[in-house]
Structure 1
Amino acid sequence: MSNFEVQVLQIRDSSYNIGFKTGKVIQGKPIIKALEMITKPEIDYENMKSIYTSFAPNLLDEMQGLSDGLEISLNKAVTLFSGYDVPKTEAMGCSAVITKDYYVRNYDFGPALYDGCFSLVQPNQVFSSAGYNLQAIGRHEGVNEKGLVIGLHFVSHHDYSVGLSAWTSIRMVLDTCTTTDDAIQMLKEIPHSACYNFSMADRNGDIAVVEATPSKVVIRRDPELLSCVNHFQEEDLKQKNRTVIDNSLKRNNILQSFRDGNLTQSEMFNNFANSESPLFFTNYDDLFGTLHTFSYSFKDERILTSIAESEQILDINFLEWVKGKDIKPCILSGIIK
């Protein structure tokens, strides 16, 4: 059993300075060495740049800021943080329930490749957003000031190709998209490197799951409740699933059992965050342990989030934060069993 922490960052600044300040926070942290071990020595910078220029040029500035904040070359910064041409990594697990009222999800993996940062950022030229960092500029999930929320769910490495990671795609969506339809359109255009589900909803009650492969994107909808785990459910893409998906199927059945429960955001959040829940896992050595729970209410514009085995629940009125009211500085403390 070991303690672990997540630092909560609040940055209202230019994209460059967001990168610079984030770099100073993660400088010397174990995540840097971990990323050095799994990323390539170099990538095709010009191709990466052309993709970013098309979808999120502000993130090029953020990576320049990371480069300067960490005092490393820009080439090294983009190989570590761009999420472009990332080698295959081990499977991760994520479970989410999406309704017209709220979004709730768990992220399940191991702590070695966990950034340990939750960021609220307000760049000058794109939308404000909040979410857990992945590879510094990417996000596991998050919500933006327009009330659009989105999260990733790994499916498989079928048809693996050079392209963008799912966590980079999520950040691009949060920075620039207003609605679920906007996000779907962007995810149809982004060059994906692997097979992922993207669970999402907006403040208009439009909920969807984007089932994305490097060659095809399919949309799954339901007006009341969608569950999303780690396998494709649309018939056209089922052949892209991993051979063994028993755990994913079991979690999906649990999530579907909430359909007629009429649970509040807090009640659903507890069903995910409670360490006694069948949705909470402690198989950290097998890269399947619950690291954090994230939730957003569309009506209240309220974020609830906590990390594993923590007594702290970070409760944020996101609308007030966007308008300029900072939350109290804090560090989330949890336990890895």
Structure 2
Amino acid sequence: MTKVHTDITQFRGSHYDFGYAQGLWLQDSAVLRNRQDSWRMRKPRFQSDEYDAKRAFMQFAPGIWDELTGMRDALSVPMTDVLRDFGHYRVNMKPSGCSILTGADFMVRNYDYHPLTYDGRYSFFQPSDQGYAIIGPSSRVTGRMDGMNEKGLVMGYNFMQRRKPGDGFVCHMIGRIILETCATVDDAIQLLKEIPHRGSFSYVVLDRNEETYVVEASPRAVEVRQSNACTNHFELLQHENRHHLDDSKRRIHVIDKEASQSIGAHDAFRLLNDKDKGVFSDLYKSWAGTIHTTAYFPKELKAWFALGGDQEPVVFDFADWLKGSDVAAESIHGELDTHLGIANRD
């Protein structure tokens, strides 16, 4: 077992100042050192064109471009380096797992991936210049792997496949842009139809109107369906699926069976987080081990978070935070059944 932790970060202010503050933190962080070391071992198989990236950000999320500019200034590095490590435009993604279950007023999600990619940062951000306030775990610092915004829109995404990538944003940046710019599921669906996609993912969105939509998105097509559960295969874009879907279909079968009777939020959390229920995964070497379980409540603006399995969640009151009450805790702790490295540790 490896002990892991997630730092809680809280920021109110402009995107540029947020980026600058993150850059200062990165200067002495294990996250940046591990990211740079990974490029010494392997050459990036993508190009970060500053002009194209800026044009895309200015169309869909100009505030995040300001954030990247602040990071550049704090780190004193070329913008191409910032885009390579934190821009999430035209970069390549490894395969991953993930499972999502929703009810009328909650979303529960397992984030399944490789520990060495994990930031270990849970972010509260309230922009003063543009965009909605967001709560949720960060991915590659600027992205969000799941989360909720001040309007009660909740988002999580699941990997589908990485064949034939397109010129566009990767999942964690698309997730961030959804939360920062969309107030409802209808807004999110429209954005996902317009934004360019690098890879193939399903984005699950829920708002205060109690309806969940699964948006199946690839570089070639976007389709929308209603469902309260999602793992790692498309139902509509089946021609885009991987060939090996046994584990994905096994997990969706477990979820559908247990959730067939109006399951509540606590039981849904236990279904995904308990190691003996059949959804939690220890496949860390295969880039598909469960690192955290989250839950979001759009009507109450509350969030739950747990690192590792068989955990009771830490509860955050996002509504109180939006009124100016800072969270007292500085970090969250847990354990993973792996000896692999963790990105936020030396």
Q: TM-score, normalised by structure 1?
A: 0.93
1:313 match? 313
Q: 2 CA distance for matches of 1:45 and 1:246?
A: 40
Give the 3 Å change call, closer, same or farther, for CA 29–40 of structure 1 in structure 2.
farther
2:169 match? 164
1:135 pairs, out of 131, 136, 140, with 140
Q: How does 1:102-121 map to 2 (within 5 A)?
A: 102-121=106-125
1:151 match? 156
**Residue identity matched to 2:273:** A
1:25 match? 25
2:59 pairs, out of 54, 61, 85, with 54
Aligned residues: 331
Q: 2 CA distance for matches of 1:126 and 1:34?
A: 31
- Residue ranges of structure 1 left out of the alignment (5+ in a row): none
Give the 4+ runs in structure 1 shifted more than 6 A.
none
SS at match of 2:101: strand
**Residue identity matched to 2:127:** P
Matched, 1:175 2:180: yes
**Residue identity matched to 2:298:** F
SS at match of 1:72: coil
Q: 2 CA distance for matches of 1:75 and 1:272?
A: 39
Q: 1 CA distance for matches of 2:152 and 2:137?
A: 17
**Residue identity matched to 1:260:** S
1:332 Cα deviation after fit? 1.1
Q: 2 CA distance for matches of 1:102 and 1:35?
A: 34
Q: 1:272–1:293: 8 Å Cα contact kept in structure 2? A: yes
Q: 2:103–2:264: 8 Å Cα contact kept in structure 1? A: no
1:95 match? 99
Q: TM-score, normalised by structure 2?
A: 0.91
Q: 2 CA distance for matches of 1:311 and 1:184?
A: 33
Output one character per residue of 1:258-287: Cα deviation in whole Å (capped at 9) or x when no partner: 333333222211222223331111121221
What is the aligned-residue identity percentage? 31
Give the 3 Å change call, closer, same or farther, for CA 27–336 of structure 1 in structure 2.
farther
SS at match of 1:93: coil
Q: 2 CA distance for matches of 1:33 and 1:163?
A: 26
Per mean C-alpha deviation after superposition, the further-off stretch among 59-68 and 35-44 is 35-44
2:232 match? 230
1:40 Cα deviation after fit? 5.6
1:27 Cα deviation after fit? 3.1
1:83 match? 88
Matched, 1:195 2:200: yes
Q: 1:34–1:113: 8 Å Cα contact kept in structure 2? A: no
Q: 2:170–2:199: 8 Å Cα contact kept in structure 1? A: yes
1:69 pairs, out of 41, 56, 74, with 74
2:286 match? 286
Per mean C-alpha deviation after superposition, the further-off stretch among 63-72 and 42-51 is 63-72
1:232 Cα deviation after fit? 0.1
1:76 Cα deviation after fit? 1.1
Q: 2:98–2:288: 8 Å Cα contact kept in structure 1? A: no
